[in-house]
Structure formats: structure tokens, C-alpha cells
Amino acid sequence: MYTESDIANLRAVIKNSKRAVFFGGAGVSTESGIPDFRSRDGLYSQKYKYPPETMLSSEFFWSHTQEFYDFYREKMLVTDVSPNAAHYKLAEWEREGHIAAVVTQNIDGLHQKAGSKNVFELHGSIYRNFCTKCKMPFPVQRIQKGKGIPRCACGGIVKPDVVLYGEPLDENVLDGAVKAIRAADNLIIGGTSLNVYPAAALVDYFRGENVVVINKGAPAKDMRGVTFIDGKIGEVFSQI
């Protein structure tokens, strides 16, 4: 658990920040009702024929396209959810000039829904989809409503613009995220196990003053010297 003084410290860091970066993951959206991977109620604890990392791999997409879409539609393609206090606070701090950028591993678009403008989506977004043959964009609603493998008018298979395991990150997004973290005065990390690479390595580019981690349980990475607040990020942020 955390104390009043943890909240006061975080408040001071945010208030004194002029270009902080928030780096987050699936835990930021659990309070909106989207399961993460590694929590007790996360996708790893649910019984599937294959682990989520297999079903969300590029290899699986091409070899088991129908099974990929069955899982993706049921578990990843969540659009009827709202941002929670964590998303809203980050958008507010950006407007107030404390946060320069949000770097997220999430694909759910909730930071933008909450009003954040400068968002680096390391793993892409469920809201962008395109034909793998002719590159035409494809509306997300048509993927949601359909049952089979979504196909473009040209016959090509449609793929979500999400970075599957085994695929490289988008160079421009990566470059923007690294630049923002390098220039940040403070780094706030939250709702991520820091297990997924190369995303988790980006926090090593930070050269600023304070690192504050808000997470349920300690992340996988050795984070000596950082301030760690063990709690739910929406609940913690709503007290700032």
C-alpha cells in the first residue's frame, strides 16, 4: 500500500514538471474494464488453447488467421469502454504544461479519448486497420461486426495496425518516444510489468530528475533508486 506522503511526493513531482513523460501499459486500462496480461484476472490466467503471446504473434496471424481474429475480437478489440481517472489526469497535466508526452504500450486508444494529444502508441492501435495487399484502410466497425477473416474489396486480408509479437516497432513512433523520454525532466511509469521488449528498454533513455513508478506490485525490471507507489493508478492519480 501507499501513504499520504507518497501522494504528496508524487503531487510535488507533477507540479514541478515542465516536460515529464508518462510511460504506461495495460495496467492503466484495467480500471476501465480491459484485462491486462499478467494480473490475477489478466489474460494469462484465463484458459486458452495458446498463451496470449502466441495468439498475438505475427506467425500465428498468418498461420491461424481465423483463430487470431476469434481471440482478437473477443479480448483485444474493446471499443465500448471509457477512460478512467488515470487517463483523464494525464490529459489534464498535459493541458497544464506538466506532461510533454504519453508513451503507451496500449492499443486501446483511451489516452486520446481522454484528451491527451501527444501520445506515442508503441504497439499501434485497434482503431487503425489496413489491407495487407493494397494497404487501403479498413473501418474498425466492420471487423467488429463481422465473424470471419476480414477482407478488403481487393481480396487481401485485413490486419490491425497493432505490433504483433515478432514484428518491429514503427521507427517514427519509437524515435518520437525516445526523444521525449531523453528530454523529460521527470518520468512517471505506471501499470506495466516492464516485461515486454523492446518497449520496456525505453525507460533507460531517461536522464532527468525523478522516476516515480505507480503499479500494483513491483515491475520486473530492477528499478533501484526510483520512488515506488504500490497501488491502483486511477485511484492514486485521482488524489493528485
Q: At 222, which amino acid appears? A: D
Residues 108-147 vs ligand NAD: string with x where CB under 6 A?
x--------------x------------------------
Among 37, 68, 93, 237, binds ligand NAD (CB under 6 A): 37
Note if 111 is an active site residue: no
Among 14, 21, 22, 30, binds ligand NAD (CB under 6 A): 30
| Distance between CA atoms of residues 204 and 215, nearest Å | 18
* Residue 189: strand pairing partners: 23, 213
Secondary structure in 3-state letters for 19-43: CEEEEECHHHCHHHCCCCCCCCCCH
> Which DSSP state fits 168?
P
Q: Which residues contact 133 (CB under 8 A, 6 or more apart)?
A: 152, 154, 155, 156, 157
Within 189-218, which residues bind ligand NAD (CB under 6 A)? Answer: 190-193, 195-196, 215-217
The helix/strand count (H/E) of the chain reads as 9, 8
CB 36 within 8 A of CB 25: yes
**Residue 109 or 150: which CB sits closer to ligand NAD?**
109
Report the nearest approach of ligand NAD to the CB of residue 156 (Å).
25
Report the nearest approach of ligand NAD to the CB of residue 43 (Å).
6
107 binding ligand NAD? (CB under 6 A):
yes
**Residue 152 or 162: which CB sits closer to ligand NAD?**
162
Residues interacting with ligand NAD, by CB under 6 A? Answer: 25-27, 29-31, 34, 36-39, 42, 105-108, 123, 190-193, 195-196, 215-217, 219, 232-234
